[in-house]
Structure 1
């Protein structure tokens, strides 16, 4: 792949890390309408328990990694993390480290999946970089886990950072994003929108003091924000607020699942 690969810088996968896969399945299936695999999706098992998150249209919305006691003992915690497509994982790792980022998981190859590494930006927000292996017989396959308008896909990628402008410059440099437009948020400052190839993929905001860490939050599309919020509450999740109106006539809500992973929802009110 060349440096000009149009996929470079795209979110191509999302992963939920959780210590309780059965509870996560019950929760997200009810909230979003997914059908998370009830058992390890890796043929023949493997060193980790990894399950596909299936959409109603037959595609995958991402994956679920079951955290083991050993992973938790080494600092892993429940949460969502995104994967960014790059043309060269090793070169990206070196460039990110040179700009103050850190490597959380060294680059490695996974048979049939691709080469990947887990990094953190200079302010500590984690993400994966990946050069995927195309499916057998479909060399031009494209990821569809992100969509600007479809339910059961991630529709918005939101970064809270201690250094808003520094983060914008960092992701622009390494992943080719642009930053155009902003929404004033009073004392919180401007909510600055980010784009990939002219498509709005999310925003970068200044981290609030009450937030424990710099991190990405991924907003998942739902068919009905009120139905989904009721399912969050019934399933033991904790919404941060009632649904808030967003440009375009839809609503969003930020929440935490029963295992402690934060996420967002976005959709219409019916």
Structure 2
């Protein structure tokens, strides 16, 4: 049985060498509060926007892992979905395992190499995420070497549908992704051929200008933007002080 939440973005997780320092940075940029998850022997912190848990921050589990954001998608069956993804050309990074009180997760890549997580939550979609609220994840963007193959892959495993296809230039198209009748993200060609395929997490900001000032004032850097996108919102892409690549969307 495919649960109603299958394929929905359900969690955002930052792997960073200094969760507390990065927590202070995102508190300044997005108003998050950081609390220890209380997992014995594991340095994991929960970012909260008001009462809602919106993201996790943890140290790398192995040496040499760079700072990065990982997007998780909810699935009906973690083991079956992971096996199907591997059989379809994906790679398993972390095999399915349980998180007490949360659910069962795995970390994988798609055939082009972009990493993502899957989670079989214990209760509903388990997240409380609302893309319309400040501080919550609001958009999920895949930059990949083959957007057409990428869309076919995720559509097959997550049930996504195509939204509007927006022409960026004479050869490049930004393909919107829809789930349950709502746009949840987009897919596009890599901006630079040397860039590895990756998912980029966007967070809702009530003021792009204030957020940009907080980013540069707290040790981060602006990579791209601000740029207005269809629908009237403004986006900005940035790097946090530990090297994590993230983006914001909101008004100016």
Distance across 2 between alignment mates of 1:183 and 1:63: 32
Q: Which residue of 2 aligns with 1:26?
A: 24
Structure 2 unmatched runs, 5+:
none
Distance across 2 between alignment mates of 1:141 and 1:94: 21
2:44 to 50, 57, 73: 50
Q: Which residue of 1 aligns with 2:112?
A: 123
Distance across 2 between alignment mates of 1:119 and 1:229: 32
1:41 to 34, 37, 40: 37
Q: Which residue of 2 aligns with 1:143?
A: 127
Q: Which residue of 2 aligns with 1:8?
A: 6
**TM-score, with normalisation over the residues of structure 2?**
0.95
- 1:24: how far off? 0.4
Residues 77-116 of structure 1: pairs in structure 2 closer than 5 A: 77-116=66-105
Distance across 2 between alignment mates of 1:46 and 1:150: 31
Assess, with a 3 A threshold, how the Cα gap between structure 1 residues 80 and 141 changes in structure 2: closer, same or farther: closer
Distance across 2 between alignment mates of 1:47 and 1:132: 22
Q: 1:53–1:64: 8 Å Cα contact kept in structure 2?
A: yes
Q: 2:5–2:125: 8 Å Cα contact kept in structure 1?
A: no
Assess, with a 3 A threshold, how the Cα gap between structure 1 residues 146 and 80 changes in structure 2: closer, same or farther: farther
Distance across 2 between alignment mates of 1:165 and 1:146: 28
- Stretches (4+) displaced over 3 A: none
**TM-score, with normalisation over the residues of structure 1?**
0.89
2:189 to 203, 206, 212: 206
The alignment's C-alpha RMSD in Å is: 1.5
Q: 2:10–2:125: 8 Å Cα contact kept in structure 1?
A: no
- 1:14: how far off? 0.9
